Chain A
Amino acid sequence: MTAFLEIENLSASLKRQRVRMLRSVSLSVAAGEVHGLVGESGAGKSMIGKAVLGILPAALAIDEGEIRLDGEDLLAMRPADRRRAIGAKAALIPQDPLTALNPSHCIGPQITGRLVDILGWDKRKADMRARELLAEVNIDDPDRVMASYPFELSGGMRQRVLIASAFAANPKLIVADEPTTALDVTVQKQILKLIREMQARHGTAMLFVTHDLGVVSKICQRLSVLYAGKVLEQATIAEFFADPKHAYSRALLAATPKYTDPGSSLVPVDSSVTDLVAAEIEAVDEGWRLAR
């Protein structure tokens, strides 16, 4: 398998405060592979996804590194070319199905809009494609849903629509940013299965951002554990859950509740573990600050 997305030594920092947010992140995702980005809030997991899609907040600057999509270095391109490259090859499944849909438009145009306006598809062909996709995400009545407004649909339904919309233009890479966090567990299960199915059928490469180790174990083939913008461990799912290498990974696993095991107590992440990582990072950052 050749890597479809390769990130090499990606570093980013807050422009004004000179605070580093990503520290030499490297990872690669092959076509048809789902790569999990795991960490607690502030670990920079969403930031990597945003950097790939070129939607980092304006306050953040990429200091160095390469993001290669299908062999082309995105960061070396002119902004207009970059947008075109990303638009043609990548898509996003967002976290919040409520705010990700425009409340004053029907569902149909929100799926077909991008196809027609940006990719120059024929209106009828785009409509066909949207109907096809909605059926594919197990929506029984695509026509009715396409004519509905977002507020008329349930959370699970909206997330299905967003998944359909992400796959609409046949992207080679999808960034899923905590796509099930806002959903009920029972709905989460359906949506995860759906994403897995769609991804496998279309052979899409996927970056799956989540804080939930349970979710990661269900959908990913590989994962990166992040802390403070640094990759602490990269492994296949089987390796990771059998034998996590990094102390922080072990601590995270110990803190995750497991209802099947009543005797197990939840162990909060011990500060000695995070202190160690923080000290390591501080040493590297010192050099970075001096170099600037």
Chain B
Amino acid sequence: MLEGRALTVRRSTPRLWLSASWLALISLAAIFAPLVAPHDPLAQDLFAARLPPAWAEGADPAYLLGTDSLGRDVLTRIIFGARIALTVALVAGLATAIIGSTLGLLAGYLRGWVDLVISRIVDIWLAFPPVLFAILLIAVLGTGLSSIIIAIIVIDWTRFCRVVRAEALNQSAMDYVTSAKVAGRTRLSTMWREIGPNVLPTICVLLTIEMGIAVIVEAILSFVNLSISTDAPTWGGMIAEGRTSIHQAWWVLVFPLIVLFLTVLSFSQLGEGLKDRFDPVLR
């Protein structure tokens, strides 16, 4: 070919920048929550209950996104809610990825009885209804942030395990693995150094999706009141509460919902965007 291979240009797609910006904004807000939040997330003021957002009629400009039925500032609670959501996303996402991918890699590359054992466990795991599983776990562990995280890890490691196993199986059939053997590499070293980098892009994409899922799971558990104490500012909790007063105060429901939606969307887009940008092999 004439021009051929010089044409592979790295694109920094808008989806990478948009999603990264949104997540950066949310993260900053979460980290500096006490500094940036205009009010105390728990402070109730029944005289200022159900105030509409600042631009609507009858609003108090001090409450930018309005207040809920107990007079708590919606914006402040969204910002503090981000702390919980992002903690869950990060800790649960990473732990799930590490555990699931390692098991998947072992099963896919070593095969034999290791694969047999891991794959059967995954099969059994997948036969449990996940939501019921989560609720049961929380019932046993008690509510709280760490319980949510543990529940997510216990349920979702199979997602990584299955995908990474399939990918590792594919990669193991490639000649570069044989070539590593000819070079005298040990099996474990081949797994980390040769196959590892080739399943990493897949893991990254899965990881960001998993982070989004973790945010949703946390919201769902909060929604059914199984997350943290009712008082604590969580997005799911806010949505659950907003639902009861949707006709009088739509903003209590809508704003956390939008933030939740954008965050989950950004996580999944971030993964694909990162892959486009940094994976040396373009598809």
Binding site for B on A (CB under 8 A): 17, 19, 42, 228, 278, 281-282
B4 to chain A: which residues have CB within 8 Å?
42
| A281/B7 in contact, CB under 8 A | no
* Complex CA distance for A255 and B7, rounded to whole angstroms: 29
Name the 7 nearest CB pairs between A and B, nearest first.
A42-B1, A228-B2, A278-B2, A19-B3, A17-B7, A281-B2, A228-B1
10 contacts between A and B (CB under 8 A): A17-B7, A19-B3, A19-B7, A42-B1, A42-B4, A228-B1, A228-B2, A278-B2, A281-B2, A282-B2
Which residues of chain B in 1-16 are interfacial with respect to chain A, using CB atoms and an 8 Å cutoff?
Answer: 1-4, 7
Distance in angstroms between the alpha carbons of A17 and B9 in the assembled complex: 11
B1, B2, B4 pick with most chain A CB within 10 angstroms: B2
Closest residue of B by beta carbon distance from A41: B1
Q: Which residues of A contact B1 (CB under 8 A)?
A: 42, 228
Q: How long is the Cα–Cα vector from A228 to B4 in the complex, in angstroms? A: 10
A19-B3, A42-B1, A42-B4 provided; 7 other pairs, C-beta below 8 A? A17-B7, A19-B7, A228-B1, A228-B2, A278-B2, A281-B2, A282-B2
Considering the chains assembled together, what is the distance between the CA atoms of A42 and B1 in angstroms? 5
B-chain residues with CB within 8 Å of residue A228 when the two chains form the complex: 1-2
Q: Which residues of B contact A42 (CB under 8 A)?
A: 1, 4
Bound CA span A278–B3, Å? 10
Chain A contacts for B2, CB-based, 8 A: 228, 278, 281-282
The CA of A281 and the CA of B1, in the complex, are separated in Å by 12
- Bound form: Cα–Cα A281–B3 in Å: 12
| CB-based nearest B residue for A43 | B1
Most interface-central of B3, B4, B7 (chain A CB within 10 A)? B3
Tell me the complex Cα distance, A282–B3, Å. 10
What's the Cα separation between A278 and B2 when bound, in Å? 7
Query: Closest approach, in angstroms, between the C-beta of B276 and any C-beta of chain A?
Result: 15
Interface residues of B in 211-250 (CB under 8 A from A): none
- A282 to B4 Cα, complex, angstroms: 14
Q: How far does the alpha carbon of A19 sit from the alpha carbon of B7 in the complex, in Å?
A: 10
CB distance from B5 to the nearest CB of A (A): 10
